Chains A and B, each alone.
Chain A
Amino acid sequence: MASVTEGFAPIALEGGQKARGNLTKARIRWVIAALLVVFGIVGGRLVQLGTVVQDSTIEGQARDVITASRPPILDRNGLEMAVDIRVPSLFAEPRRIIDVDEAIEAIRTVLPDLSVDFLRQRLSGDRGFVWLKRELTPAVQDKIMGLGIPGLDFLTESKRFYPGGREVSHVMGAVNIDNQGIAGIERHMDTSQDIALLQSLGLARDAALAPVSLSLDMRVQHVMYEQLKDTLTRYKAIAAAGVIVDVHTGEVLALASLPDFDPNDPASALEKDSFNRITSGIFELGSTFKTVTFAAALDSGKVRMSDSFDARFGIRFGRFTIDDFHGKHRVLSVPEIYKYSSNIGTIKIMQELGKDEFRDFLTKLGFDKRVPFELPEMRNPSVPAKFSEIVAATASFGHGLSVSPLHMAVAVSAFVNGGNYVPPTLYHRDQAEAESLYSRVISPQTSASIRYLMRLNALEGSGTRMNAMADGYRVGGKTGTAEKVVNGRYANGKNLNVFASAFPLDDPKYAMVILVDEPQAENERSGTTAGWNAGEVTGRIVQRIAPMLGIRPEFGEMIEQAMIPAQLR
């Protein structure tokens, strides 16, 4: 440096310094540029990585939806009625499969039911994901793993399992292969409890879902199911159904309908006649409807328990004459009309009340629309909007209008619980919550009279066979034997038998409706009317379930006497 500065003039020195300065500046610029390029590349790569969308869908569905689970369903005692089990599902990545033919051959050694054509169509091509077979067993999984074929793998899916099987089929409903509810309470949970929403967001994971507790009691449900199955063989009936409702809270304790299906095999739900007769079947419920007529008339005050009606002659409407099945043909008191199930007497009672008042009462009981209930399988009842004289007359003993057995169960609950209508439910409901839903349909005094009439019918009327079986449990009810309409005519010998009951009638807790379709006589000496089949089934069920439900048998005149209303003492 020194030699350079000595030999040259200051200007030259300045020039040299300047030149070096310029060179440094240029170098710095180059370095900056290089750095910018490098950082640009790094930044660009980052942006590129950030915008890559990972395809996590499986054949158009989000992986989370497929692996989504559902909350377990418990009965009121905590017994599991529906649980999720983890099962492996086999999928393939065709683009990773080397030899398709070899793979097909190997797979078919373990899963012979998959056809060669199906496998070839699935495994060839360049797709990233195809299902081969879903919901396998761990044993099959191990075998396929043992084959060592590249491009095959398993995904753990949740599969719905119903330990109760057929016993709870109509309540549970079914789910599809993607674990979405398609029927029964499963469908209801998806729509009302937002399980479907959770599943679609991928939040429906094992522990995240609290168990859903139903009002059903598996023990009671089992007894009901067993007895209904017995009905099909004992009376050679084509169908049978039953429902038990807590009269104070509206909780459904048991609900069964035969023929049924296996919820573990949803395809069986498509079988003929396996619909839920309790909610989605509407029937002419026959004489059980007389309870409704009596409740309406007694509550209006126009008919009193101490009244009598002339039932000597049939009632004529044009060319039709309505007569009694078990005709007494004399003047009958109100309890006698109920006891002997007199059509004439019931029509007279309804006429005393007035047909429009009778129609209004049906509206009050909710017979115009579907029962507000969780199960989606429902059908609109068929009740004429306006009653003519003859329609009102036939309606008073349960013909010419169709409602579901659940309608009747709810109506009976209201009649015996002190007169409060409470909508039924399949979920837990306590007394306080139920009371907020109460709407009064009849007075407590009328309710007491109806309880007496139902008990009287069990002691002296058509319910004696039932009462003999459930002796001590103070069951009472009304039979209904309705001739079925076949091709627009009432078919002789084809009956739909119903028994609508409640127990224990001194302090009612449960209402039950049993329906037996086209029963035949058990033996030569037995009959085919409702008391012989629907009534007997009710008796057997009560005999079994009353101890489970904590109802003590009581015997003695005292209890029966206490039920007689003051007007009749």
Chain B
Amino acid sequence: MDVTGFEYRKLSEEVSPRSPVLKNCVLAFLIGGLICAIGQVATGLSMEAGIEVENARLIGASVLIAASAILTAFDVYDSIAKHAGAGTIVPITGFANAIVAPAIEFKTEGLVLGLASKMFTIAGPVLVYGITASVVYGIVLNLLALFK
């Protein structure tokens, strides 16, 4: 072909439509914010009911996780996520969705090799690097404390 690979990739970039970044950012901000507000309301109501702040925060997170899992199971979460993008991925609801979705999908391959093993195909890296980062953070914090 009389086009080089570089020229071709440039041509393909010109022709390919770009994602509407501004619209996506605004929607992610609004829907992500709404999800966090729901968590805050659940935490606040728990505290009103006389639950200690630490436990009230756990209840707030649990409400979001449960809601996300149920909406995922009823084929609703992905329809919201289509518009919300990072707004539904970043909050804890996104993590719940990333675990429940493969669990539903791969149960046809059995409870052990399907559901249980594939459950972490998307969320696994978050756990691995999240836990690793927290360990590194802990070590650095302790080393700094030595020089105080």
Partners in one complex: no
